[in-house]
Amino acid sequence: MTMTQCVITVISKFENENIDYVEEYIKGISEFRKVVKSSRAIDYFVEVSDVETVRKSLKSKFLHTIDVIIQPIEYRSKKLFVFDMDSTLIYQEVIELIADSDPNLKLKIAEITERAMNGELDFNESLKKRVGLLKGINAETLWDDIKPKLKITNGAKELIQFLKSKGIITSVCSGGFIELAEYIKSELGLDYAYANKLGISDNKLNGEIIGEIVNGEKKAQLLKEIAKVHNIDTKFACAVGDGANDLPMMSIGFGIAWNAKPKVQLEAPSCLNTDSLKDIKYIIE
């Protein structure tokens, strides 16, 4: 039987949280070498015969209590990170900010967004419907008005600085809009930015999307394209996001569901439900 050397990383949300119950469970999986990384993170180095089976077992046991992540040691160090933007690199959903001046419109858009991110609606159709509702909004100073409202997620800047110091390529791939994705790219120092382009006529949003929609499949394609440009094996790629449209890119290499929707938490390779994106460092080194 072929055994795979893996690392199981346990990350608690609070300092010095008692995680003995997790260790007891890991004892039933494999002998291990334990490395305490901080008061909130511990690595257990194990050997397993079937990584996916162990991953499902750990998730079914601990999903709603603590973050327990397993991955092969061989691919732990990453070379490419691709991030979702809305509710990942920033706290908000940009399309809802565009509708800020109309509470009823904002609520209607938020309801569609929630269902789309949960995987209940087709992403392309839901985006077209939401963008159609924005028709007529003044676009003259739209992006400049929104940029100061964007709240970058806690730990994002520190994480990106760390990734850059390791020579890791970074990108934002968003189902949102390119003007703000480019802004976040500049603010964080990312290497690439991809997102949708809204149509404008007579300085007003015309309710249309220009070009190919950046949906889940497009995000996965973009990850592969970036990896190819930099000669990176996609096994060393990691995608981070919160919505169902992030699952395709998570499935290519490794994936982290960041404070994600329930469906995404269940299906993603790993979950992180802490208060800081900086905690991703515990997963990759």
Quote the CA–CA distance of 37 and 15 in Å, as a whole number: 12
- Who has greater pLDDT, 19 or 93? 93
Quote the CA–CA distance of 205 and 279 in Å, as a whole number: 38
Quote the CA–CA distance of 8 and 40 in Å, as a whole number: 14
Spatial CA neighbour of 267 closest among 63, 112, 26 = 63
**Residue 10 CB neighbour total at 10 angstroms:** 23
User: At 34, which amino acid appears?
Assistant: K
pTM over 0.85: yes
What one-character DSSP code corresponds to residue 273?
A: -
103-107, 153-157, 174-178, range with the lowest pLDDT: 103-107
- What pLDDT is recorded for position 26? 95
Please name each of the domains of the chain with its CATH number. 1-76 (3.30.70.120), 77-285 (3.40.50.1000)
Mean pLDDT of 159-169: 99
Question: DSSP string covering 29-75, please?
Answer: T---EEEE-SSSEEEEEEEES-HHHHHHHHHHHHTTT-EEEEEEGGG
- What pLDDT is recorded for position 203? 96
Q: Angle at the Cα of 212 (from 141 to 224), degrees rounded to 5? A: 110
Whether 15 has a pLDDT exceeding 90, the answer reads no
User: Which residues face 82 on adjacent strands?
Assistant: 171, 239
- What pLDDT is recorded for position 1? 73
Query: Known catalytic residue: 246?
Result: no
- What pLDDT is recorded for position 264? 95
pLDDT grade for 205, boundaries at 50, 70 and 90? very high
Whether 160 has a pLDDT exceeding 90, the answer reads yes
- What pLDDT is recorded for position 18? 84
Quote the CA–CA distance of 71 and 270 in Å, as a whole number: 9
- What pLDDT is recorded for position 16? 80
Whether 14 has a pLDDT exceeding 90, the answer reads no
Mean pLDDT of 257-285: 97
pLDDT grade for 19, boundaries at 50, 70 and 90? confident
- What pLDDT is recorded for position 102? 86
- What pLDDT is recorded for position 116? 87
- What pLDDT is recorded for position 232? 99
pLDDT grade for 4, boundaries at 50, 70 and 90? very high
Q: Which of 67, 86, 242, 246 is catalytic?
A: 86
For 76-91, the pLDDT digits (tens) are 999 999 999 999 999 9
User: Which residues face 154 on adjacent strands?
Assistant: none
Query: Known catalytic residue: 86?
Result: yes
pLDDT, averaged across the chain:
96
Q: Which long-range contacts (CB under 8 A, 24 or more apart) does 89-94 make?
A: 89/152, 89/153, 89/156, 89/172, 89/184, 89/188, 89/277, 90/150, 90/151, 90/152, 90/153, 90/184, 91/151, 91/152, 91/153, 92/149, 92/150, 92/151, 93/176, 94/146, 94/150, 94/176, 94/177, 94/180
Q: Which of 20, 43, 67, 84 is catalytic?
A: 84
* Percent residues over pLDDT 90 in the chain: 90
Mean pLDDT of 39-63: 95
98-102, 226-230, 277-281, range with the lowest pLDDT: 98-102
φ and ψ at 182, to 5 degrees?
Answer: -65, -40
